[in-house]
């Protein structure tokens, strides 16, 4: 394996020099031109004092500039500290403090943040997204230790301190191989890529990436017609995006009777997809291979399932959990007892004692070469989220579920499971069932004031009396029902329920 992960991209610039690498709005760049720009940017960064090992905060929206910037940092051996578009000034300061950044590259908005932030003003090197003027000589590619950090990303961090995922050059190579196996990118693919990490995979495989024309920080403003026109005009053959994005596009195609684009594959992940939502995908894209991938920041992928299989099972088969498919061949998955405590094991034998019987609900843990081994500057998170057994590292996903007949099922977040005697009640059971009630947009159950309480977001013209009667009759366990105008979603994908914010609202 090459020492510097940037070599994957450089190899593609030699194999496919004239192929378009990235399309962003009205601009595009070929592989050879992107390489030239990366090398010039790398030289510019060096001239400004950025050195190997420096952590550089990058606040640039998903664009050609973002990938040119990050690849240039890889090139010179610096560590890119990547922030999502949706972050607030407060979160930006917190992430910068955790990563202890010595340089900053950002768009105008980010530089305004930096001007008014005492913490960000302390960063000695602050740059825009330019490449410098007249810097021609390409620097020598830095040859890092494989365990040197190349990229630091942050978990959503809806509660407490966000965890900084430290991705080394070696780890990024292993993650690339895992994604290669799962999504199988090819040079002839034209991928509408909404998930930033997947576009890096495309650049290492020689694919063309079309960045969807919408603002990730404001997903509710997604214009599906604009995205549809991009797909048609650029001849997109594959989409990798969040369930929210795929659902909105699917609804637009179905509701307007637009011709279905000729797509070979759609990959979606980052939030649960229930059978009813899978049916929306299938109606819009009946001849497309649509796959839902289950994973997390620390372990991507863990498992996957085809939407046709999800639909065949239907709501009746999902009453005890959401099927997320067969475990990825490079992953090992176990189900252990749910606990808030740190799990320490010195041997496989000790770990096996913590495993739940087949078909029983517990916490999903995963191991594999592509599973993140460490966090940056957060020993407490490492202790709480990892189980070290010899040289093997198991990641605690925080998700509850079980394994049945070789398939993995999710039942909800461990900290949202409801204990009923000796058994657990999974929120996903209800979230799936509620979708079968006409007028329900999304809903879940929580324990509120010691009562199992349904919380429902209904459509504008929905009959709430009808919904109430049907939900109360679904299950004798539900004691209360609250309607809420908008159930909060996660800021990254706008697809998952943000339970912590929901509890605050209640």
Domain definitions of the chain by residue range:
6-11+20-162, 437-505
6-11+20-162 and 437-505 have identical folds: no
SS3 category, 23: strand
Average pLDDT over the chain reads: 89
Cβ neighbours, 10 Å, residue 480: 14
Give the confidence band of 429 by pLDDT, cuts at 50, 70, 90: confident
Comparing CA positions, the residue from 171, 195, 198, 166 lying closest to residue 182 is 198
Q: Is 296 exposed, middle or buried (0-12, 13-18, 19+ CB in 10 A)?
A: buried
Residues 305, 293: Cα–Cα separation, whole Å: 7
The encoded tokens of residue 383 equal 């202790």
Give mean pLDDT, residues 315-333.
Answer: 81
Alpha-helix runs per DSSP H in 235-327: 243-256, 275-284, 307-313
Give mean pLDDT, residues 180-196.
Answer: 91
Per-residue pLDDT reduced to its tens digit, 132-158: 876 567 889 999 998 999 999 987 654
- Extended strands (E) in 259-391: 265-269, 289-296, 299-306, 322-327, 332-336, 362-367, 386-389
Residues 231, 266: Cα–Cα separation, whole Å: 12
Residues 209, 190: Cα–Cα separation, whole Å: 6
pLDDT of residue 462 exceeding 80, the answer is no
Class of domain 437-505: alpha beta
pLDDT of residue 80 exceeding 70, the answer is yes
Match domain 6-11+20-162 to its CATH number in 3.40.50.150, 3.40.50.980, 2.170.150.20, 2.60.40.680. Answer: 3.40.50.980
pTM of the predicted model over 0.85: yes
pLDDT of residue 501 exceeding 70, the answer is yes
Comparing CA positions, the residue from 424, 363, 361 lying closest to residue 395 is 363
Give mean pLDDT, residues 413-437.
Answer: 84
Name the phi and psi angles at 456, rounded to 5.
Answer: -130, 135
Residue 215 or residue 329, greater confidence: 329
pLDDT at 474: 79
- Extended strands (E) in 386-467: 386-389, 392-404, 407-413, 418-420, 423-425, 440-448, 451-458
The answer to whether 242 and 270 are in contact (CB under 8 A) is: yes
pLDDT of residue 268 exceeding 80, the answer is yes
Give mean pLDDT, residues 214-219.
Answer: 77
pLDDT at 53: 95
Residues 315, 308: Cα–Cα separation, whole Å: 13
Give mean pLDDT, residues 188-192.
Answer: 97
pLDDT of residue 319 exceeding 70, the answer is no
- Extended strands (E) in 175-298: 190-193, 208-211, 238-241, 265-269, 289-296
pLDDT of residue 108 exceeding 60, the answer is yes
Give mean pLDDT, residues 89-104.
Answer: 82
The encoded tokens of residue 469 equal 């009667």
């Amino acid at each position: 394996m090459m020492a510097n992960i940037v070599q994957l991209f450089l190899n593609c610039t030699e194999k496919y020099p004239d192929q378009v690498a990235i399309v962003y709005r009205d601009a595009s760049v070929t592989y050879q031109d992107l390489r030239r720009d990366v090398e010039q940017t790398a030289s510019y960064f060096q001239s400004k004092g950025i050195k190997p090992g420096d952590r550089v905060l990058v606040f640039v929206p998903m664009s050609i500039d973002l990938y040119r910037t990050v690849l240039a940092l890889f090139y010179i051996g610096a560590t890119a500290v990547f922030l999502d578009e949706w972050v607030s000034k407060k979160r930006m300061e917190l992430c910068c403090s955790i990563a202890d950044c010595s340089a900053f590259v950002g768009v105008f908005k980010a530089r305004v943040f930096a001007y008014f932030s005492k913490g960000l003003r302390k960063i000695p090197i602050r740059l825009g997204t330019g490449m410098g003027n007249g810097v021609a000589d390409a620097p020598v590619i830095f040859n890092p230790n494989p365990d040197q950090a190349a990229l630091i990303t942050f978990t959503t961090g809806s509660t407490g301190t966000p965890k900084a995922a430290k991705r080394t050059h070696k780890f990024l190579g292993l993650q690339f191989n895992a994604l290669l196996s799962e999504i199988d990118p090819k040079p002839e693919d034209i991928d509408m890529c909404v998930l930033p990490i997947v576009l890096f995979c495309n650049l290492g495989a020689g694919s063309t990436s079309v960045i969807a024309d919408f603002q990730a920080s404001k997903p509710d403003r997604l214009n599906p017609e604009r995205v549809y026109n991009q797909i048609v005009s650029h001849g997109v053959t594959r989409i990798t995006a969040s369930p929210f994005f795929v659902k909105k596009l699917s609804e637009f195609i179905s509701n307007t009777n637009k011709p279905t684009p000729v797509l070979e594959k759609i990959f979606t992940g980052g939030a649960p997809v229930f059978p009813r939502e899978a049916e929306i995908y299938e109606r819009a894209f009946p001849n497309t291979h649509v796959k839902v991938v289950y994973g997390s920041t620390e372990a991507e992928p863990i498992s996957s399932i085809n939407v046709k299989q999800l639909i065949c099972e239907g709501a009746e088969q999902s009453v005890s959990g959401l099927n997320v498919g067969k475990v990825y061949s490079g992953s090992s998955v176990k189900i252990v007892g749910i606990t808030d405590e740190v799990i320490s094991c010195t041997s496989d034998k000790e770990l096996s004692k913590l495993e739940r019987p087949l078909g029983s609900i517990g916490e999903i843990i995963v191991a594999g070469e592509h599973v993140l081994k460490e966090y940056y500057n957060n020993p407490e998170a490492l202790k709480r989220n990892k189980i070290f057994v010899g040289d093997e590292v198991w990641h605690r996903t925080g998700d509850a579920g079980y394994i049945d007949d070789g398939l993995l099922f999710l039942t909800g977040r461990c900290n949202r499971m409801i204990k009923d005697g000796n058994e657990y009640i999974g929120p996903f059971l209800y979230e799936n069932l509620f979708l079968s009630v006409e007028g329900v947009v999304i809903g879940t159950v929580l324990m509120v004031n010691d009562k199992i309480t349904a919380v429902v977001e209904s459509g504008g013209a929905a009959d709430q009396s009808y919904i109430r009667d049907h939900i109360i009759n679904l299950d004798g366990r539900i004691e209360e029902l609250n309607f809420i105008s908008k159930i909060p979603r996660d800021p990254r994908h706008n697809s998952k329920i943000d339970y912590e914010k929901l509890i605050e609202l209640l």
